[in-house]
Amino acid sequence: MGNVVIKTLKYSIGASSYDTVGSKAMQVKKALRDYFPSKDYMRRLGVCVFEAEANMAIHTTSGGELSIVIYTNRVKVVAVDSGPGIRDIDKALTPGFTTAPEMALQLGFGGGVGLNNIKRFADCFWLESTKCGTTLIFEVWNDDIT
Amino acid sequence: MMTLRNLIDHLELVPLTKNIDMNTSFFNAYASDLLSNALAVIDPNTLWITVQVHGNILGVGSIKQCPAIIISEGSIPSQEVIDKANEKDIQLLASQLPTFELSGLLYALLKEEQCG
């Protein structure tokens, strides 16, 4: 039952599209309202989607794609971009470490805690990166539905 | 629990959005201009104090169901951001005070409320 896909949403995120970061997270929140009424669940998922959007806007050279796969008991998010990739994943996961450009920092992005926020609020976290691009996959489970 | 009515009276905050619900209650606040920190910490009982005035603060406020965002240090968002906040039912308030001073005053009010 838990593996039944209800719906899949796909979004394109542009490089340096700082002004729209958070808009996809809000669209996801609206689209999922009927399936996941738990506010706590939507806050956890919202943080993760917001951070995935922000990472693509801040760090990619040509943007990326965000796929949101909605199952009956969880949401799986796949974020794929085509570079330039994360040079050192361990460093990128160190709280406070950032390679964000000055423009992003001035807007309050790039504090070096985005990936950690996803790790903290998601139930599964997988990250792979080469200079050809990065794939980030995470899942947020709704424990109220088994 | 403190309400926005108490807060506006004591700290001379200026409502930026329409239809502020004066009975909105909260018992904590968090001051940060880093969006990821705010995303990690704020919740439906925690006000957010920031000098950021761009539209992304509305995303943070909406996702975390923040009871109200206080823009400190005399910063004022554009009319476009205020209109969007109205549309999304996000309550925005403004203060001329520096973040440090505003946080200190708010902390004292919350302590007084909690400890009597």
Q: Identify the pLDDT of residue B79.
A: 98
Q: Does B75 touch chain A (CB under 8 A)?
A: no
Nearest to B55 among A19, A42, A114 (CB): A19
pLDDT band at A141 (very low <50, low <70, confident <90, very high): very high
A109 chain-B contacts, CB cut-off 8 A:
35-36, 56
The answer to whether B36 contacts A21, with C-beta atoms less than 8 Å apart, is no
Q: What is the mean pLDDT of residues A4-17?
A: 96
For residues A43 and B54, give the distance between their C-alpha atoms in angstroms, rounded to a whole number: 21
Q: What is the pLDDT of residues A46-59, one digit of tens each?
A: 999 999 999 999 99
A39 chain-B contacts, CB cut-off 8 A:
44, 65
Return the residue matching tokens 């706590």: A40
pTM here is 0.95
For residues A81 and A137, give the distance between their C-alpha atoms in angstroms, rounded to a whole number: 12
Q: Does A83 touch chain B (CB under 8 A)?
A: no
Average pLDDT, chain A: 95
Assign domain B2-111 one CATH number from 1.10.357.10, 3.40.50.1000, 3.40.1390.20, 3.30.70.940: 3.40.1390.20
Q: Identify the pLDDT of residue B114.
A: 86
Residue A1 has pLDDT above 80, yes or no: no
Q: Where are the domains of chain B?
A: 2-111
Helix (H) or strand (E) holding B10: helix B4-11
Q: Which residues of chain B have pLDDT under 50?
A: none
Residue A137 has pLDDT above 90, yes or no: yes
B65 chain-A contacts, CB cut-off 8 A:
39, 43
Surface-to-core class of residue B86, CB atoms within 10 Å of its CB (0-12 exposed, 13-18 middle, 19+ buried): middle
Q: What are the structural domains, with CATH classification, of chain A?
A: 5-141 (3.30.565.10)
Q: Identify the pLDDT of residue A9.
A: 97
Q: What is the pLDDT of residues A58-111, one digit of tens each?
A: 999 999 999 999 999 999 999 999 989 999 999 999 999 999 999 999 999 999
